[in-house]
Every structure is written in structure tokens, then in C-alpha cells.
A and B are shown apart, each in its own frame.
Chain A
Amino acid sequence: KAGVTQTPRYLIKTRGQQVTLSCSPISGHRSVSWYQQTPGQGLQFLFEYFSETQRNKGNFPGRFSGRQFSNSRSEMNVSTLELGDSALYLCASTQGSEQYFGPGTRLTVT
């Protein structure tokens, strides 16, 4: 089985812009979770989608949003980028209680 794929792998954006990140889960997995990883805050949960519905949401501002498509692929969007949004964004594909992670998208905001 192919693993979790995330695109793009690297991204450089300017403050005020918006960005969309994509995640394709492992085939057959219907749940996708997103995490933000920064040196200061560590790994923090953003949100989880299951069958195209957001099931859980972390403590992030409304600038962070996401969606899931009928094929379980998920996208997350960050609008009005701030310098503090620079991070590694990780997507996890879930089966039962086990979460398998993709390689991440490293976003740099300048």
C-alpha cells in the first residue's frame, strides 16, 4: 500500500498571502488529521476529518481551515499568513487508533 502523501513538500509564502496544502491518506483510510509542528510549541493538533466532516478541532484561529473530499483526500488552508505560521504541517491517516503520518509540508512565511 502506498503511504500518506503530502504536497507540496516545501513552500515559501509572504505575509498576508494564503496557502493550501494537500494530503492523500492511505487507501481505505477515511480519517485524516492535521498537525502543526514548530520548535517552540512542538506538535499541535489542528483538526480531524472523517467522511468529509470535521469531527474535531484544535485551538487555532479561524484562519486555519480544512476540508475533505469524497475520496478522503484532504486540504488545509491558511489565510492571511503570519510569520508565526512558519512550521512543518503534518497530515495523519487513521485506521482504528493508529495514525500514520506523511512526510509533511514545510511552510516558510517571509
Chain B
Amino acid sequence: AQKVTQAQTEISVVEKEDVTLDCVYETRDTTYYLFWYKQPPSGELVFLIRRNSFDEQNEISGRYSWNFQKSTSSFNFTITASQVVDSAVYFCALNAGNNRKLIWGLGTSLAVNP
């Protein structure tokens, strides 16, 4: 079975704090992709990053960084020096098997307060 778990339902931080969003996934497939999406109040899902199962190199992009660890089936996402505009719901998603079906976590609602 394929499953994505985002244990944190809501997180509230003060601007400029660092925040890490957790994601744990389950799949028996050896080839898979992991994604993070951001959904602001407007509702549109914004693509942030994709990682394939063969690439465990972590990445930093501006204030965003990702930590992919196959050994613990985790794909965590960190925002450094958070800003009010980062307030949104963040979703982790898994794509495995020979299809484009995304399996989603329930999302983590991040509130960044001034």
C-alpha cells in the first residue's frame, strides 16, 4: 500500500523563525517520486520540488531546503527565516508505479505571524 503521513496538522511560528515540515511515506515500489506543494488561501496548488527515489542529494533553494532519507522513508521540508507570505497549507505527495496518480498527505497548515 502507498501512503503519505504528515503528522503535523498545524504549525504556528513567528516571522524569521525556521520551521521544518515532516513527511513520512510508504511504498513498495523501488522507483517513485516525492513532491512538496504549497496551497495558499487562494486554493491553487503551487509546485515546490520533486525528488526521485534514486536521488538522495538534499537541496537548498533560497530559503527552502529539503531532506530526503530513504532509510527512514522521510522527505522533510524546511523554511529558513520564515515570512508571513509563507503562510499556507503544505502538502507532501508520492507518485509510485507506472502512473501519474499522486498520493497525498493531509497537509500541514503553517501560520507565520508578524
Complex contact A43–B104 (CB within 8 A): yes
Complex contact B44–A94 (CB within 8 A): no
In the bound complex, residues from chain A placing their C-beta under 8 Å from that of B101 are: 33, 45, 48, 56, 58
- Report the separation of the CA atoms of residues A44 and B105 in the bound assembly, to the nearest whole angstrom: 10
Whether A103 touches B100, Cβ cut-off 8 Å, given contacts A42-B107, A97-B52, A97-B95, is no
CB distance from B35 to the nearest CB of A (A): 8
In the bound complex, residues from chain B placing their C-beta under 8 Å from that of A94 are: 100
- Report the separation of the CA atoms of residues A58 and B2 in the bound assembly, to the nearest whole angstrom: 14
In the complex, residue of chain B having the shortest beta-carbon distance to the beta carbon of A45: B101
- Report the separation of the CA atoms of residues A84 and B44 in the bound assembly, to the nearest whole angstrom: 21
Residue B102 lies at the interface, judged by CB distance under 8 Å to chain A:
yes
Residue A13 lies at the interface, judged by CB distance under 8 Å to chain B:
no
Complex contact B44–A97 (CB within 8 A): no
Complex contact A103–B44 (CB within 8 A): yes
CB distance from A94 to the nearest CB of B (A): 5
In the complex, residue of chain B having the shortest beta-carbon distance to the beta carbon of A48: B100
In the bound complex, residues from chain A placing their C-beta under 8 Å from that of B72 are: none
Interface of A is mostly: strand
Residue B106 lies at the interface, judged by CB distance under 8 Å to chain A:
yes
Which residues from 77 to 114 on chain B have a C-beta closer than 8 Å to any C-beta of chain A?
Answer: 91, 93, 95, 99-107
A99 interface neighbour in B47, B52, B103, Cβ under 8 Å: B47
- Report the separation of the CA atoms of residues A44 and B91 in the bound assembly, to the nearest whole angstrom: 13
In the bound complex, residues from chain B placing their C-beta under 8 Å from that of A25 are: none
Complex contact B47–A100 (CB within 8 A): yes
Residue B45 lies at the interface, judged by CB distance under 8 Å to chain A:
yes
Whether A90 touches B45, Cβ cut-off 8 Å, given contacts A42-B106, A42-B107, A43-B91, is yes
Residue B30 lies at the interface, judged by CB distance under 8 Å to chain A:
no
In the bound complex, residues from chain B placing their C-beta under 8 Å from that of A43 are: 91, 93, 102, 104
Residue A66 lies at the interface, judged by CB distance under 8 Å to chain B:
no
Residues of B within 8 A of A (CB): 33, 35, 37, 42-47, 50, 52, 91, 93, 95, 99-107
- A-B complex: 3 closest residue pairs judged by Cβ atoms: A101-B45, A43-B104, A103-B44
